[in-house]
């Protein structure tokens, strides 16, 4: 489910987007690139599409044209992340990303069962004529290898939450209940994600979530993508 986030905040600086003051090491840890060995090992781990077909994670960014932005979300019923994907769809639709130089492909990766993917696409990408590709790291092996943490809560309400926190939680619960058996297969509720940018197979930028409402805001993403 979505977890509580409260006060609005407009600071978009890299160390901002929602936390109490931290020392420099803590502030920068979520931007730290993994070492080459960890990234290589993560690249060999498998993701699955909605049909359960497996492919190495690295196939999403190696030997691929342009840039690849991989957005790891939380479980497939997290209301906060669903709002975030809709926020991305509004500000960074595939057509806009494709027109960038070099072009950008955005891929969503969750941590639930592959059978949850079609409904997730319907709930989050109805505004897109060509939805973002969605995969899942059901065992969370890539999340773990790349240092994405398990941490609930959040002290601020980011700009991508357009509804109240209560509404987000209610939406999560409703989707879980109405999904039947799939409602128990959305993924680990405490697992957070992050944003990973690759170019020519090389990792250029990363931002890991520090809590359940801490995805990168659009201004920071545009800066990382050179789209300002």
Give the tens place of pLDDT for each residue, 174-196.
889 988 888 989 999 999 999 99
How far is it, in rounded angstroms, from Cα 195 to Cα 87? 14
Q: What is the mean pLDDT of residues 51-60?
A: 98
Which tokens in the block code for residue 93?
């639709």
CATH architecture label of 33-223: 3-Layer(aba) Sandwich (3.40)
How far is it, in rounded angstroms, from Cα 220 to Cα 158? 13
Which residue, chain included where needed, has tokens 């906060």?
80
Task: Domain ranges for the chain, please list them.
Answer: 33-223
Q: What pTM was computed for the model?
A: 0.87
Please say if the pLDDT value at position 123 is more than 70.
yes
Output the pLDDT for position 14: 38
Strands (E) across 14-143 are located at 46-48, 54-56, 67-72, 104-110, 134-136
Output the pLDDT for position 155: 62
Note whether 76 and 187 are within 8 A (CB): yes
Output the pLDDT for position 80: 93
How far is it, in rounded angstroms, from Cα 18 to Cα 40? 31
Which tokens in the block code for residue 71?
């957005």
pLDDT, tens digit, for every residue of 24-54? 454 588 999 999 999 999 999 999 999 999 9
Selection from 125, 40, 142 nearest residue 81 by Cα = 125
**CA atoms 184, 120, 222, 217: torsion sign:** negative
Q: What are phi and psi of 151, to 5 degrees?
A: -160, 120
How far is it, in rounded angstroms, from Cα 69 to Cα 221? 10
Note whether 69 and 225 are within 8 A (CB): yes
> Average per-residue pLDDT in the chain?
88
Lowest mean pLDDT among 10-14, 35-39, 101-105, 167-171: 10-14
């Amino acid at each position: 489910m979505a977890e509580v986030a409260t006060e609005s905040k407009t600071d978009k600086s890299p160390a901002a987007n929602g936390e109490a003051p931290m020392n420099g090491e803590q502030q920068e840890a979520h931007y730290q690139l993994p070492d080459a060995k960890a990234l290589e090992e993560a690249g060999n781990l498998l993701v699955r599409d909605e049909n359960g077909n497996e492919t190495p994670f690295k196939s999403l960014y190696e030997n691929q044209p342009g840039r690849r932005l991989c957005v790891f979300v939380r479980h497939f019923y997290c209301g906060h992340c669903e709002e975030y994907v809709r926020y991305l769809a509004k500000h960074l639709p595939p057509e806009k990303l494709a027109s960038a130089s070099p072009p950008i492909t955005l891929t969503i990766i969750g941590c639930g069962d592959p059978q949850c993917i079609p409904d997730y696409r319907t709930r989050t990408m109805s505004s897109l004529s060509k939805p973002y590709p969605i995969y899942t790291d059901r065992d969370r092996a890539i999340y773990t290898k790349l240092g994405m943490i398990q941490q609930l809560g959040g002290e601020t309400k980011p700009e991508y939450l357009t509804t109240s926190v209560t509404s987000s939680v209610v939406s999560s619960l409703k989707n879980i209940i109405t999904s039947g058996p799939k409602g128990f297969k959305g993924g680990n509720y405490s697992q957070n994600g992050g944003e990973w940018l690759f170019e020519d197979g090389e990792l250029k930028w990363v931002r890991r979530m520090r809590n359940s409402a801490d995805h990168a805001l659009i201004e920071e993403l545009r800066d990382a993508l050179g789209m300002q």
